[in-house]
Homo-oligomer: A and B are copies of this chain.
Amino acid sequence: MRCRKCAAGATVELRRHHTAFCNEHFLEFFERQVQRAVEHERMFTPDDRVLVAVSGGKDSLALWDVLRRLGYQTTGLYINLGIGEYSAESHRKSVAYAESRQAELILADIPETYGMGVEDFARATGRVSCSACGLSKRYLFNKVAREGGFTVVATGHNLDDEAAVLLGNLLHWQTEYLARQAPVLDSTHPGLVKKVKPFFRIAEREAAAYAIIRGIDYIVDECPNSVGARSLLYKEALNVLEQAAPGTKQSLYWGFLEHGRPLVQGRGDADLRACLHCGQPTTGDVCAFCRMTERAAERMRIRRAGVPTATTSTTSTASIS
């Protein structure tokens, strides 16, 4: 198979695009895809300060890498979730990338700040791990971005991720979740920072190919808590379809954005106000993160004085430059 652009031997085949590229032209294609997503969806401009959520995995490090090359102002945010060796390894990969590229990385440490990790939150409050983890990450993305004066948070969610979440929401017809699924979530409250997913057009294996060709050293292991997770099951089912009909994931997700989402628009909207405890935006009096951490602290017999309030910082932010 030959590269579509230069007729050299192709290294990456993109079945859903009926094409193939050599390394050099794949990188060119990939970066153009991301740039187009950023511009077309009005995610941010070169004037924005973009906080890139970095997990040490291929998607987030590839995203950070592309955005830096495209000339955007980026800072990484790594959150230590306290998941044993998995967190230790993902921390090392994130720091190594930042140091080797002279890129600024903010570190937030959940066990250091809250005296326990996300698995403890989950155990103490009867949530599943992935729920406690997701809630914690969304909370800290917004808090760190807001405190650091960032105008937008970018995450590495790719087409496979979004299609799997969409399939899950459709299998259970969660119309409020459907309404909130989009590549751009604009700020709807002064305390809520805009969130974007510049890889929503990028397949998982394309992000992996980019990371490998660019020599990015990322953590390959999945989070140990994701074993048996529904999202992996949904990906498996979609892979059965994609294998037989390349382009299925794209058709599902892009079709949803064009035809499905307008049907549910507005269903996920809620009036936001400042959490009475931490000041972050919430639909109730006290936000879900404060409720979770406070309940966990109580359960673990940690003194209430350790609970975050609006006036204490909940992240340890150390810049690496």
Q: A interface vs B, CB < 8 Å?
A: 170-173, 175, 230, 233-234, 236-238, 240-241, 244-245, 248, 251-252, 255-256, 258-260, 263-264
Contacts and interface: CB of A to CB of B under 8 A. Distances in A.
A263 to B, nearest CB: 4
A240 B248 contact: no
B252 A241 contact: no
A171 B251 contact: yes
A259 B171 contact: no
Given A173-B252, A173-B255, A173-B258, 7 more contacts: A170-B260, A171-B241, A175-B259, A234-B241, A237-B237, A237-B240, A240-B240
Contact of A263 (B241, B258, B263): B263
Contact of A172 (B173, B236, B251): B251
Most buried by B among A173, A252, A258, A259: A173
Number of this chain's copies in the complex: 2
A91 B243 CA distance: 36
A252 B175 CA distance: 13
A287 to B, nearest CB: 27
Contacts of A234: 241
A233 B241 CA distance: 7
A63 to B, nearest CB: 26
Contacts of A251: 171-173
14 contacts: A170-B170, A170-B252, A170-B260, A171-B248, A171-B251, A173-B251, A173-B256, A173-B259, A173-B260, A175-B259, A233-B240, A233-B245, A236-B240, A237-B237
A200 to B, nearest CB: 16
A237 B241 CA distance: 7
Query: Which 9 A-B pairs rank lowest in CB-CB distance, beginning with the nearest?
Result: A173-B255, A173-B259, A263-B263, A237-B237, A237-B240, A171-B252, A233-B244, A237-B241, A175-B259
Given A237-B237, A237-B238, A238-B237, A230 B245 contact: yes
Most buried by B among A175, A241, A245, A252: A241
Contacts of A170: 170, 252, 260
A266 B302 CA distance: 57
Most buried by B among A238, A251, A260: A260
Nearest to A171: B252
A173 B170 CA distance: 12
Nearest to A261: B173
Contacts of A255: 171-173
A260 to B, nearest CB: 6
